[in-house]
Structure 1
C-alpha cells in the first residue's frame, strides 16, 4: 500500500511540474493524463480527489496566478500579451474573467491592486499545491557557512500581511528605477516577526536589496542597513518559496536543538535566488539563513 501511494504521489507531482513548465502550451485532459500514465477517466477522478480541484480549474488558476504576478510586478508585457499567455483568445475575455475573480480590471489591478480578493482567489490553488509540494527536510539539507556582511537598501513592511503585495510592488518599482536588477543586486527578506502573529498589525518584514551604492530614495521610505556577517545555518528551498515557514520551523524546532549550535541575535532571513514568474513556480529557489554564534 505504501509503495502504491508513493507511486500515485509521484505521478501527481509529475503532472504539477509539467503544468508549471508548460503554462503556455495545450494542457488538456488528454495531454496531462499521458504525463500521469493514466487513462483520462481515472486521471481526472484521481486528480480531483487528490487536490480538491478539477484539472481544468487548477490550470486556470495557475495561469491566472502567473498573469496577475506579471501585471502587478512586471511592466514589460502589455495586458494583451499577458492575456494571450494566460490562454485567452482576446483581451476582453481575459478582462471579464479577471474582473470576475478579483473584482478589478487587469489595468486597474496593474495600477493599484486590491490584494485581499487576490489572496482569497488563490487559496484553493495554494491548498492544492501544499498537499504534495511541501518538502520534508533532514540535517543533510543544512550547511554551515561563513557569510560576509552585506550592505543593503531596505523598504520596511509593518502591518497586515494581506497588504504585503503592495509593499513588494513599490519595492520592485523603486529598485528598477534605481537600476538594482536582481541579476546583479541580491534580494533578501528579513523577518522581524512570525509569519502569522497574534495580531496582523504586528507583522514585520524588511525587503532588502544588496548594494554599496549611495541611495536615492526617490520619495520612497528607503533606508540603508546591513545584514551582518558570521556563521549561518543555510537551508535551500526549491519550489513553493512563497511560504518558507515550514523550512524556518525545521531550522528552529528540529535542526537547532539537535545541532548543539546556538542562534545569534539576528532574525532568520532569506536570499531569493530565482523568482516566479521568471522561472516556473516549482523552480523558484531561496536560501534560508539562521544566524549562529
Structure 2
C-alpha cells in the first residue's frame, strides 16, 4: 500500500508489487485480496483515482490532462472513462462542485477520521452527524505552524470506521500501556494519507500509533510523519472534524492550499483529568 501511494504517478505492474513483498504474483494477489477485499490492481486503480479527485478539488488551476498524467493514466481518454466509472460524473463536473454531492451522498458522516479515537463508549460523539460550524469560528482558531518530523510506531487499520475503529484504536492504547508501560498522558497520532471525504468505509486506511522507542511490539510498523507547514486546530473536550477545517478555512484561503504529498495528522493525549485533548493538522503549502 505504501509503495502504491509513493508511486501513484507511475503505475506498478502486479509482478513488481509482488516482488516488493517477496511473493509470486499469484500468491501476492490472493493475499492482498484476502486482506483488503480488492485485487492489488483494482486497489491501485482506486487509489490513483482518489488522488486525482483530491487534486481536482484542491488544485483548481492545474489542467485535467496534467492531473491525469500525474496520476499515472496513459491518456486523457483512459482517465475520463475510469473517473466516470468510479465517481459517476466527469472530472469537470467533479471540479465544478460535484465532489461535495459525492462526499455527502456516498460517504456521509463516515467521511472523517478525526473523531475515531474518542472513548468507544461515547457513542453520542461517534454517531453524531456532521454539523457545519458557525462561519468563521473554526478559521479563527487555526494557526499555520512548522511541525517537526515524527517517527511513529503504528498499527494500520483497513476497512474500519466509526465505533469499530474507535474501539480498535483504544485497544491498541491499552495494549501498549499494559505491555510497555506507556504513560496514560502519552501523545498518540492518527494518520490518513488521502482526502477523508472521498474514501468509503471499505477503503479506509488509517494508521494509529505513538512516537516512542519504548514500544516493543514487533507487529507494529514504523513510518516517518514528514515535517513541514500544517494548518493546526487545537481542541479540548470536543471532537472537531477535518471537514470543518476544509470548509471554514481551507476552501476560503488565498495564501495556503492543501499539500497532497503529505498526510492529515491528528494528535491526541489525555490531560490530568483523563480527558482527551490535542490537535488536527492539515498539510499546506503556499499558493
| TM-score between both structures, scaled by the size of structure 1 | 0.48
Structure with a larger share of its residues in helix:
1
Structure with greater Cα Rg: 1
TM-score relative to the length of structure 2:
0.49
Asked which structure has the greater RCO (Cα within 8 Å, sep 6+), the reply is 2
